[in-house]
Amino acid sequence: MDDLTDVYNEIIMEHSMNSYNKKCLECASCCKMGHNPNCGDEIKLELKMNGNVIEDMAFSGHGCAISQASTSIMIDTLKGKTIKEAKEIIETFIAMIKREITDEAELEKLEDAIVFKNISHMPARVKCALLAWHTIEDMLEESNSCK
């Protein structure tokens, strides 16, 4: 990619450098670490469930702007969603990054997370963008333990 201002845009920069989602939850239902061993990015996701609904989420950790912003924006997107809705959004996000989506309308459900669309053109950074999404995917799979 020649012009990175599409990637390092205002929303990604704000979320990566000064995220309001970077904190600890007081009464999390469960938490999980996500790690990219090759680059050292490390996040801890905390999740608070209310029945079937993701009531609150937060993260801590360190990593590049892409991984940190992707985590923060994911939290904004998934908060208040049911497990079923969240799983659909996660699937769509991963498919978008892997360039598997042909119908652009499908991307609407991603809300702000659509800003990561251009990452699909930067193979070296795909795993940065996906770290949090793979981590939450595993958490929801194990969601029975998230009560």
Partner 1 sequence: MKVEDIIKDFPILQNRKETYLDSGATTQKPYQVLNAIDNYYKSYNANPHRGAYSLSIEATEKYEETRAKIAKFINAKHSEEIIFSKNATESLNLIAYSYGMENLQADDEVVLSIMEHHSNLVPWQKVTKCAKSNLKYMYINEEYEISDEEIENKITNKTKIVGIAHVSNVLGTINNVKKIIKYAHKKGAVVIVDASQSIPHMKIDVQDLDADFLVFSGHKMLAPMGIGVLYGKREILNKMTPFLMGGDMIEYVYEQNTTYAPLPNKFEAGTQNIEGVIGLGAAIDYIEKIGYDTIQEIENEVVSYAIEELSKLDYIKLYITPNKENHSGVISFNINGVHPHDVASILDAEKVCVRSGNHCAQPLLRLLGIDSTCRASFYIYNTKEDVDNLIKALKKAYEMFKKYIKS
When asked if residue 8 is in the footprint of partner 1 (CB under 8 A), the reply is yes
Contacts of 6 (CB under 8 A, 6+ apart): 118
Residue 62 sits in the site that holds partner 1 (CB under 8 A): yes
Size of the site for partner 1 (CB under 8 A): 26
The three-state secondary structure class of 76 is: helix
Binding mask 106-145 for partner 1 (x = CB under 8 A): ----------------x-xx--x-----------------
The least CB distance from residue 127 to partner 1, in Å, is 10
Residue 36 in contact with residue 63, Cβ under 8 Å? yes
Give the residue among 98, 117, 124, 146 at the shortest CA–CA distance from 41: 124
Q: Which is nearer to partner 1, 105 or 124 (CB)?
A: 124
